């Protein structure tokens, strides 16, 4: 009955180009759109796939996660034995799964806004799902993390929230620790890619100036170790690998 009423209302609202949608508990929707933990985990099990492999399959991103992990490894992200790790926006845990396999961290903190995924990640990987406000790492101690990373997060957050997170990442990173994340820069918006975005139904992209990012981290005692690109959205995102400069 509820479904019938909703369809009738939507038919009327359709004349105004509006539609009723179900409200979720997610603080910030991600660039792929929200998918529920319960349904995704169930579907992955039915197909005999890990959640990571299943998500890559439905998003047509096979092997993309591993490519990012391999590039992170190339730049020395996993050199430390049993590091402390913090991830922002872990989502389905597709990167968490592979980072844990790669470096066997002694402590892994996760800030995920979707409560269903946060609860599942904590149970599945024995990590710590911290309370999340969408712009800080308030439950993490100063200079306590060997690696702080985020994937597909700073491509859609508002500029100032991105900077708030950058400031927090800098605060919690240990001496000689690393910060790794991706975002859209000018290089990610060539004319051909921009045309694809304009033809798509997505309006979330936030573009951050490349030089501004580098200068911001430089001023806060971090050096740029390297960059690499990854397929993302209608084109690509750019990864930054920063290392905290050790002062003697």
Q: How confident is the model at residue 3 (pLDDT cuts 50, 70, 90)?
A: very low
| pLDDT above 50 for 15 | no
Average pLDDT score over the chain? 88
Strand locations in 9-81, DSSP E?
Answer: none
Instruction: Please state the rounded mean pLDDT for residues 78-85.
Output: 94
Give me the pLDDT at residue 84, please.
98
The DSSP string of 143-184 is T-EEEEEESSSTTTS-HHHHHHHHHHHHHHEEEEEEEEEEEB
pLDDT of residue 247: 72
Architecture of domain 62-244: 3-Layer(aba) Sandwich (3.40)
């Amino acid at each position: 009955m509820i479904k019938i009423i909703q369809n009738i209302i939507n038919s009327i609202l359709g004349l105004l180009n509006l539609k009723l949608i179900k409200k979720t508990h997610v603080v910030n929707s991600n660039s792929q759109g929200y998918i529920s933990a319960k349904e995704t985990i169930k579907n992955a099990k039915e197909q005999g796939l890990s959640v990571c492999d299943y998500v890559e399959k439905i998003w047509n991103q096979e092997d993309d996660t591993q490519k990012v992990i391999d590039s992170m490894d190339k730049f020395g992200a996993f050199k430390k034995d049993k590091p402390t790790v913090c991830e922002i926006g872990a989502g389905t845990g597709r990167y968490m799964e592979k980072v844990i396999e790669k470096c066997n961290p002694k402590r892994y903190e996760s800030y995920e806004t979707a409560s269903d995924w946060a609860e599942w990640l904590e149970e599945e990987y024995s990590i710590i799902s911290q309370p999340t406000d969408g712009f800080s790492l308030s439950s993490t101690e100063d200079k306590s993390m060997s690696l702080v990373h985020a994937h597909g997060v700073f491509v859609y957050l508002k500029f100032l929230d991105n900077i708030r997170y950058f400031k927090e990442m800098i605060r919690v990173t240990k001496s000689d620790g690393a910060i790794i994340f991706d975002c859209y820069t000018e290089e990610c918006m060539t004319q051909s890619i921009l045309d694809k975005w304009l033809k798509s139904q997505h309006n979330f992209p936030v573009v951050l100036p490349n030089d501004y990012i580098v200068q911001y981290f430089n001023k806060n005692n971090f050096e740029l170790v390297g960059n690499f690109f990854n397929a993302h959205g209608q084109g690509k995102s750019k990864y930054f690998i920063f290392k905290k400069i050790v002062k003697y």
